[in-house]
Structure 1
């Protein structure tokens, strides 16, 4: 049964954030940083308003900085309008889904806001996906247009006939580079670009193929898009996510929900100023964290977005040294990877005031070392695609608590409930984290049953196990599906990982449950040692003894293996399921899950 006030449509079940059920108390409000409001007024604007407002208030402020190329907010707005015109001439109309498979290059925000200007729906796609993964999302979303790179053209052609695609728009990362940088880019890409060029050439007669730079040049810079009536409740983005189970599903994010989350994030930063900040944008825009925390929140701030298409330490350090970013939303692996460079050149990093770490747990030792070296404030936050995504963050003060995901942002309710009944648990007791607020998705695209399953009385079930202390700080214990049950006892992988990461020989650690004939499951740890440490039986025993001193006997790893690297997602999250599958395959044991 749908929660009260929700509506069902042919494409999805839509859930209003106003919900019945138990009322969450809000002890966290008294621990907000001074200046953070307990309540914020959310305007009934569409997401397009962000760019229009920034271009009006700060027309000459640099909006996009890309390896030497600068676009002001008024130029950004005009280019987005020009691209909207080009799409309109292709027949794109309100409600159409347009897929964007690009890294963080200027064409991404231009395309994003151009699409929204028509009332069409943006479908972000990871350009690293395989043909199978791409095909699933193109077919499921019903996208008829895709904007992508030359290097992906042949891959899309291979699946074109199995989809509803009518138009393939291609753009190069070199298109917005300064002339010398464009030449250097072409030289360094070599064979990859040559093969892409050949594919281009062979397909030039393809009526479905369009070149974005040509499209922009053809449009009259003073022409206006034919008016489209767009409401805050209209769909802005279909953000695909694995969710808790199964194939990737499209989380329906409206203009209202994405604008709300940008404003919620902005309200958390009391010491920053509109039109004065610069944001290091290396977290991918095709990931919802990068989309909201890097792109949309930056535009709300009228901040300069320093665009980096791919996380390469050399490029990131160079950008920090030259551009002096003040804000750096990232993921734990980025901060960890930058520590050696920050240690060598701490002055480069002194411009950074705040770093928000999301998408994965932030190890305490990484947080402490990064803050000590850079003098910036690095805090852990939390979110999920279904929430647009940010729901929690630590205060940007000494009230930050290591190991906690922090406090719910303004206008967000959160609670810990039992998995079985959804009833609230006592302070400090472990249960499932549930959230509600104006930023929450309406449901999953064309998946009414899965939408019903993830909402309970209007609260979004996160699938994460956690607890709340008396002050309203929340702590994640584990993903419900990652919890290990060994001989009937619960083991939380993150707890074991945190212990291993405290050992001076350990660079990275991942813990999973693997099948065991006697215990059902047993604890397996996969370790990447620091470069100067050599794997040996002696170091293995040392680590096990260290765990025995810090953990109850049933939590100590029974399997401990050394790896040169851990499998990770494109944003640096360790893929525990892949590690588990590798272990099962290598040891030829039956999978019990």
Structure 2
């Protein structure tokens, strides 16, 4: 039998449709229920569903009053505050196309996005880096907050296939790609509710990430809101060490975080007692069996891992109704059509190949912004090629077999080594450079830069240069000079050999 999972497609999104309207569909019936609690160690700022909907639609009205019209792109340069999701949903509610971006990006990185997208406006916290844009209005946080009190705008309803939002992801070319998603992408996430979360309206889902991380935006906010659950987000000043106390105090029933967060919690707290927690969710990088087993032993609750990407969110996962077999990612979610393929198509069960998603998946991107050829290059017939390798067994469980490219994981962010190398190449005195991620201790990975030069370069100056040109999560934490960078028989840089170089010198 072939490595194909297909138990039937999910129902299509209704027409007309609006993503923000879907997220807030329960707001009127649950007007007084807490939709969001932003938690500090002493109190919490609570937003009811009524408050949230009013703020979103007031913001939408204010954006239209600024002269923006449906279809306009708005770039988001906002910090880790509630302003972020309100502005995001406010834009979508009136048919604008928001582009959420990491607050860690530098002004030169953002300038490239501005040049590519030509946004009609930038939503801006002055503390967040952004280039000067004399021809593009920048709307301040104060102005956005004032919009919340305006009379609500009506939802802009339309074709669920129309462009809803854009997110950036690092591409294998080394240049971050703008990934375009339709309004229907939120409809497709319903497959995750049962296939990963086990999500209920009674749940209190706490996410450890920042408001302006797409993992938090989707899993921590949009999904719980779309079923009428309560989202719990730590205030930006909360230390990771205090997460177990917040989980217990606020009676979280589901916890979502990158594997590294679970690793640190287990390291910092030999005894974690969370009586209300049903289970944990994790994504962003591969979960080790060590962390999974230790979390279960310490808390008595399971961790459910999900695999996905910016182009299609998560589509393979374990869940309370379908726990993962050891060392597997889980199974494709019901409603998905997933395969393991080679150049000839789906491979036999038990055979390694590339993980692929059916072109018709409702959660799959519309394409890369203004890049039809690059988009089509990711497809083989009707299969979208993820670039990651896997093996499917007789029960459709998929074992992750590594990355086909050299994409790195840095704290849950996918980072292209080519992008980091391109930035570092401009450093004076540096000859050649190769970047990869290395494991400095069990389950702890960092980005390392190996370079050639006539003498050791000033590491402090290298780090300062990287800080000026790269977001923090893209910056190497280790620099090492080599006489020559290792290459494969074809003369191409061997990142695997770079890792072995580091391991041999430990």
TM range, smaller chain: 0.7 to 0.9
SS at structure 2 position matched to 1:305: strand
- The answer on whether the counterparts of 2:351 and 2:392 sit within 8 Å (CA) in structure 1 is yes
- The answer on whether the counterparts of 1:308 and 1:315 sit within 8 Å (CA) in structure 2 is no
In structure 1, the residue matched to 2:230 is: 304
2:479 counterpart of 1:589: no
In structure 2, the residue matched to 1:185 is: none
Judged with a 3 Å threshold, the aligned counterparts in structure 2 of structure 1 residues 230 and 357 are, in CA distance, closer, same or farther, namely: same
Superposed, 1:77-226 pairs within 5 Å as: 77-152=53-128, 155-156=129-130, 158-161=131-134, 165-170=136-141, 211-217=143-149, 219=150, 223-225=151-153
The number of residue pairs the alignment matches comes to: 432
Judged with a 3 Å threshold, the aligned counterparts in structure 2 of structure 1 residues 530 and 324 are, in CA distance, closer, same or farther, namely: same
Give 1:525 deviation, angstroms: 5.9
Judged with a 3 Å threshold, the aligned counterparts in structure 2 of structure 1 residues 524 and 358 are, in CA distance, closer, same or farther, namely: closer
2:387 counterpart of 1:463: yes
Unaligned stretches of 5+ in structure 1? 1-21, 30-37, 172-210, 484-492, 495-511, 513-520, 532-566
2:36 counterpart of 1:60: no
- The answer on whether the counterparts of 1:50 and 1:296 sit within 8 Å (CA) in structure 2 is no
Judged with a 3 Å threshold, the aligned counterparts in structure 2 of structure 1 residues 227 and 113 are, in CA distance, closer, same or farther, namely: closer
Give 1:270 deviation, angstroms: 8.2
2:192 counterpart of 1:265: yes
Judged with a 3 Å threshold, the aligned counterparts in structure 2 of structure 1 residues 365 and 229 are, in CA distance, closer, same or farther, namely: closer
Give 1:85 deviation, angstroms: 1.3
SS at structure 1 position matched to 2:253: coil
In structure 2, the residue matched to 1:528 is: 441
- The answer on whether the counterparts of 2:3 and 2:349 sit within 8 Å (CA) in structure 1 is no
In structure 2, the residue matched to 1:282 is: 208
Give 1:461 deviation, angstroms: 0.7
- The answer on whether the counterparts of 1:99 and 1:145 sit within 8 Å (CA) in structure 2 is yes
2:13 counterpart of 1:43: yes
In structure 2, the residue matched to 1:479 is: 403
Question: How does the TM-score come out when normalised to structure 1?
Answer: 0.67
Give 1:170 deviation, angstroms: 2.5
In structure 2, the residue matched to 1:339 is: 266
- The answer on whether the counterparts of 2:328 and 2:398 sit within 8 Å (CA) in structure 1 is yes
Judged with a 3 Å threshold, the aligned counterparts in structure 2 of structure 1 residues 265 and 479 are, in CA distance, closer, same or farther, namely: same
In structure 2, the residue matched to 1:354 is: 279
In structure 2, the residue matched to 1:430 is: 352
Question: How does the TM-score come out when normalised to structure 2?
Answer: 0.77
Q: Pairwise CA RMSD of aligned residues?
A: 3.2
Unaligned stretches of 5+ in structure 2? 410-416, 418-433, 445-465, 494-506
SS at structure 1 position matched to 2:18: coil
- The answer on whether the counterparts of 2:349 and 2:394 sit within 8 Å (CA) in structure 1 is yes
SS at structure 1 position matched to 2:305: strand
2:5 counterpart of 1:26: yes
In structure 1, the residue matched to 2:427 is: none
Superposed, 1:514-553 pairs within 5 Å as: 526-528=439-441
Give 1:89 deviation, angstroms: 0.9
Return the alpha-carbon distance in structure 1 between the equivalents of residues 82 and 137 of structure 2: 24
Return the alpha-carbon distance in structure 2 between the equivalents of residues 141 and 524 of structure 1: 30
In structure 1, the residue matched to 2:329 is: 405
SS at structure 2 position matched to 1:57: coil
2:359 counterpart of 1:415: no
- The answer on whether the counterparts of 2:180 and 2:367 sit within 8 Å (CA) in structure 1 is yes
SS at structure 2 position matched to 1:340: helix
Question: Which is richer in helix?
Answer: 1
Question: Which is richer in strand?
Answer: 2
Return the alpha-carbon distance in structure 1 between the equivalents of residues 437 and 83 of structure 2: 44
Q: Alpha-carbon deviations, 1:108-129, whole Å to 9, x = none?
A: 2211111011100110110011
Larger gyration radius, structure 1 or structure 2: 1
- The answer on whether the counterparts of 2:306 and 2:329 sit within 8 Å (CA) in structure 1 is yes
SS at structure 2 position matched to 1:134: helix
SS at structure 2 position matched to 1:466: strand
Give 1:225 deviation, angstroms: 1.8
In structure 2, the residue matched to 1:386 is: 311
SS at structure 2 position matched to 1:86: helix
Judged with a 3 Å threshold, the aligned counterparts in structure 2 of structure 1 residues 407 and 285 are, in CA distance, closer, same or farther, namely: farther
